[in-house]
Amino acid sequence: MSSQQYSLKSTFESLSGYTAATYAVYGLAMVFFLFPVLWVISMSLRQPGEVLSYPVQFFPRDMTFQPYVDVLEDSDMLLWVVNSIKIAVLEVIGILLVTVPGAYAFSRFDFRGKKPVLFGVLLFQMISPVVIVIPLYNMMAKLDLLDTHSGLILLYIGLQVPFSIWLLKSYFDTIPAGLDEAARVDGCSRLQTLIYVLLPSLAPGIAVVAIFNFVFSWAEFVMAFTVLGESDLYTVSIGLFSFQGQYSTDWRVIAAASVIAMVPILIMFVGLQRYFVKGLVEGAVKG
């Protein structure tokens, strides 16, 4: 066997071992993340006596859909899902309306104080919302925005603007500035350049920002619990918390409600999966 053939063979064997190890790590990660979801689904299908039975059965012996019936008939779960969808969609729209022009300005323009402002935006993102929840509550009370979805949407937009601006700016930086110049030569204004020339190339980044913000709004609890006090205004996260009783808790019902709460997130991710994966890959490679 020649040295070149031996080198190719050893390279192939090393790559095969590396590929096998990579897939093994991926498999362990999938098990780690999927096991809690499958466990919740399993618990939602159990009979009352099987929840805390020993030994634990992953697959219920006698499946029942009664917990789902109880959730849909005896609670406002569907209303809470609708509330969460409304808040999340409006929050994503508001975030994009604010951050797309802002990220475009930070990416394309040079102005005095640009770096300090960007640093301040990043610094604000590092502050936990729990730290500022009391000042935010007092401000919302003075503005008469408590117990309103509009107040919660404005809070979410304010909290997520720094992260979204930094993320979109990185995508704008990957688009050649020559496109702007060509559009200006053709007579486009700044706004027309942004809408008709840059936004189509920015679609993967917009999808990433939309999904991240939708998931944040869907799962956020602290701000929603602070602002909303009426049951008919609850989001899914507060609704799930309300299923816990003071003296007893039906974990099957909570599991069933959790499964129902997962459905809109899964639908959105499946619908935008192509753009989401493309956006993450492009951001990682070009960054």
Q: State pLDDT tens for residues 13-58.
A: 555 666 777 777 878 888 888 888 888 888 888 887 776 665 666 7
98 within a domain of the structure (yes/no): yes
pLDDT at residue 10, as a whole number: 53
Answer yes or no: do 120 and 184 share one domain.
yes
Q: State pLDDT tens for residues 238-283.
A: 998 888 765 567 888 888 999 999 888 888 777 776 666 555 555 4
Answer yes or no: do 41 and 96 share one domain.
no
Cβ-contact 153, 88 below 8 angstroms:
no
Distance CA 187, CA 128 (A): 45
Answer yes or no: do 152 and 32 share one domain.
no
Distance CA 47, CA 64 (A): 6
Answer yes or no: do 46 and 75 share one domain.
no
59 within a domain of the structure (yes/no): no
Answer yes or no: do 106 and 44 share one domain.
no
Answer yes or no: do 30 and 170 share one domain.
no
Q: State pLDDT tens for residues 127-138.
A: 777 888 888 889
Per the structure, the count of domains in the chain is 2
Answer yes or no: do 11 and 45 share one domain.
yes
Answer yes or no: do 36 and 134 share one domain.
no
Answer yes or no: do 122 and 175 share one domain.
yes
Answer yes or no: do 78 and 44 share one domain.
no
Give the list of residues 6+ apart from residue 37 with CB closer than 8 angstroms, or none.
262
Q: State pLDDT tens for residues 75-91.
A: 889 999 999 999 999 99
Answer yes or no: do 40 and 73 share one domain.
no
Range 155-166 average pLDDT: 90
60 within a domain of the structure (yes/no): no
57 within a domain of the structure (yes/no): no
Answer yes or no: do 183 and 251 share one domain.
yes
41 within a domain of the structure (yes/no): yes
Distance CA 243, CA 140 (A): 27
Question: Encoding tokens for residue 155?
Answer: 């809070």
Q: Is the pLDDT of residue 284 over 50?
A: no
Residue ranges making up the domain that contains 34: 3-50
58 within a domain of the structure (yes/no): no
Share of the chain above pLDDT 90, in %: 23
255 within a domain of the structure (yes/no): yes
Establish how many alpha carbons lie within 13 A of residue 54's alpha carbon, considering only the half-sphere containing its beta carbon: 0
Q: Residue 279's domain is classified under what CATH number?
A: 1.10.3720.10
pLDDT at residue 46, as a whole number: 84
